[in-house]
Every structure is written in C-alpha cells, then in structure tokens.
Amino acid sequence: MTLFIETLIGGLLAGTMYSLVAIGFVLIFKASGVFNYSQGALLLFSALTLVTFLELGLAFWLAVIVTIVVMIALSIAIERVVLRPLANRNVMTLFMATLGLSFVIEGAAQGLMGSEVRLLDIGLQDNPLFWGDILISEFDLIVAGGATVLVIALALFFSKTRIGISLRAVADDTASAQSIGININRIWQIVWAVAAVVGMVSGMVWGARQGVAFALSLVVLKALPVLIIGGFTSIMGAIVGGLLIGAGEALAETYIGPLVGGGISPWFAYLVALIFLFIRPVGLFGEYKVERV
C-alpha cells in the first residue's frame, strides 16, 4: 500500500511538470486555434538564455528577469514577422509556420549558445521528505506548489484583468473582438509572451532536473498526450491530463513494467492518448466545434 501511495504521489507530482509544459500550448491554442509546435523550442531557448546569464555572473533573480524580458521581445518579434503576415490563413498553415519557427529558434539557440548540456541550479534540492512511511521528493513538491501558484495566477489574470478578458474575447470570436476595438496584434504578442514565460518556468524546472540541452525541446512530445487527454483548449484539462499521465506512467512502470521487461514509460502516455483519439478525440475538457455551411 505504501508503495502504491508513494508511486501515486510521485507520479502526480511529476505530472505537474507535464501540466506546466502543456499549459503553454493551451494558452496559444485557446487564443488562436494554433498548435504552437515551437513551444518546446521556446522552452529550450529560455532555459539556455537563463543558463547563459547565470554563467555570465548575474544573480539568480536578475537573470530570471532579464530572460523574461528577452522572451517578451522574442514574442513581439514572432508576432510581427511570422504571425501577422499569416493572419488570414488557416490554422494548418499557421501550424506549419510554428514548425518552421521551431527550427529557427532551435538553430539559433544552439548556434548562439552552444549545444553541450548545461547544468541549471535553481536553488531547489532533490531532498527526500518523509510523510509517515511515504517518500516524497522535495523538488517535486516545490515544483507542484509553484505550478499551482502559477495556475492560480493565470486564472486570476484571465478572469479579473482587462487584458485577460480581452484574450478570452479573442479566443471566442476573433472578428467580433476586432470589431469592438481590441487590438489583435497586441493580444497575440501578449499571449505568446505569457506562453513564453510559462515555457521559461517549465524550462527552468525541467532544466534543473535533467540539464539544459537539446532534449529539452522534446518535451513537446510529452505534452502532446497530455493535451490529447485533457483537451487542447482547457487549462484545467492540461492539469488533469498531466496528473493522469504522470500518475499513470509511474503506476504502469511500477506495476506492469516488471511483467513486460520494463521500459513502459516512454510510450505509455501515447498508448493512452491513442485510445482517447479513438473514443474522445477532443479530450476530457475539450469542445466539439459546430460546423457551419
């Protein structure tokens, strides 16, 4: 029983890291219907930038702030150069543009800042904590706490601030939002900047755990099953999906793993996602769109 709870908690906490990455995708998808393939590249770029500034000797929080500024600048540039010229095109074209963008950002990030693995110390230790007999990782716990704070902050942002409400208006009906004077370009910039900062937080967390290197951009691949299961348009879905995948992976590895010789984790999430695609493709919290002719 202890093993079960321990695995479950460990899995849930790990799942929050997946959720964090998935939220970045949800933000942009919700606002514009575009699946931002370059979210992983943005994650890598932000983590590399942070590491570079830390190596240059900046204090931790200063480095974080500078990185945020860089990511905001990048988002504005992306909106101007890539998104605006493609404004009236269909979402598939935009998706392919984000594909190209991911190549641009990865090539630039590693070309400018190097491809070796860098260690990122964000001040969190992976100390074991004990709750009764149950072993919990301190790192995971703090990350989960931080993710919760972030989610609450985002929720407040969307429901209480003017910008947040404008974002929801744009997500709901772009043309109407424009007709009441909402500056779409500014909104895209803000959404991408928020997604980039969320990406940065994810990058920090993942980078601290497994080092900052190219493999970081592959977290996209982990986020996809989360989004399939949770739905692409819901932050709640990203959270639930991440938790489900995290817990599921951990439990599967522990209980089913020994039966098939281990190595379940890499594809377990995808298996579940594939099943979802057959029965409920829009995910637990996703919406079916009404077709008009």
Partner 1 sequence: MSVTPSSALRPAVDSNPLATGSSPLAIGLLLIALILVPFVSSEYVTQVIVMPVLILGLAGLGLNLLTGYTGQISLGAGGFMAVGAYATYALAVHGGIQFFPLAIVLAGVITAAVGWVFGLPSVRIKGFYVMVTSLAAQFFFEWLFLKFPWFYNFGDVPTISLPPMSLFGFDVDGSYVVRYYFTLSLVVVLTWMASNLISSHVGRNWMAIRDMDTAAGVIGIDSKKYKSLAFAISAFYLGIAGALWGFIFLGTTSIGSFQIDRSFQILFIIIIGGMSSIRGNYIGAAFIFLLPLVIDHAAKTFVGDMVSPGFLSNLQKFLFGVLIIVFLIKEPDGIDKLLRQLTARLWRRTPTKKDNERGAQSEPNR
Partner 2 sequence: MTDRAISDADVILDIAGVSLSFQGVKAINALSFSVYRHEICALIGPNGAGKSSLLNIINGVYRPESGSLSFNGRSLKKIQPIETARLGMGRVFQNNALFGKMSVLDNVLAGLSRKAQTSFIEHAFRLPRARRESADFRARSERVIAFLDLEPYRDAIVENLSYGIQKRVGLARALVAEPELLLLDEPMAGMNKEEKQEMSDYITDINHKLGVTIVLIEHDISVVMSLSDHVVVLDYGRKIADGDPDRVKDDPEVIQAYLGVVH
Residue numbers at the binding site for partner 1 (CB under 8 A) = 35, 81-82, 85-86, 89, 91-93, 95-97, 99-108, 110-111, 115, 221, 224-225, 227-228, 232, 263, 266-267, 270, 273-274, 277-278, 281-282, 289, 291-293
Residue 183 Cβ vs partner 1, minimum distance, rounded to whole Å: 21
State which of positions 252-291 bind partner 2 (CB under 8 A).
291
Residue 130, beta-bridge partner list: 135
Query: Which residue from 47, 65, 82 is spatially nearest to 189, judged by alpha carbons?
Result: 82
CA atoms of 279 and 95, how far apart (whole Å): 25
Give the one entry of partner 1, partner 2, none that residue 120 binds, where binding means its C-beta sits below a cut-off of 5 to 8 angstroms depending on kind.
none
CB 43 within 8 A of CB 208: no
Per CB under 8 A, 175 contacts partner 2: no
CB 14 within 8 A of CB 141: no
Residue 289 Cβ vs partner 1, minimum distance, rounded to whole Å: 7
CA atoms of 68 and 56, how far apart (whole Å): 16
Give the one entry of partner 2, partner 1, none that residue 61 binds, where binding means its C-beta sits below a cut-off of 5 to 8 angstroms depending on kind.
none
CB 249 within 8 A of CB 269: yes
Look at residue 284 and give its three-state secondary structure: coil
Distances (CA, A) of 73 to 51, 76, 110: 18, 5, 19
Look at residue 250 and give its three-state secondary structure: helix
Residue closer to partner 1 by CB (options 65, 221) is: 221
> 């909104």: which residue's tokens?
187
Residue 36 Cβ vs partner 1, minimum distance, rounded to whole Å: 12
Output the CA angle 153-159-161, nearest 5 degrees.
80
Residue closer to partner 2 by CB (options 133, 173) is: 173
Residue 39 Cβ vs partner 1, minimum distance, rounded to whole Å: 14
Residue closer to partner 1 by CB (options 67, 110) is: 110
Residue 223 Cβ vs partner 1, minimum distance, rounded to whole Å: 11
Residue closer to partner 1 by CB (options 145, 281) is: 281
Residues that bind partner 2 (CB under 8 A): 291-293
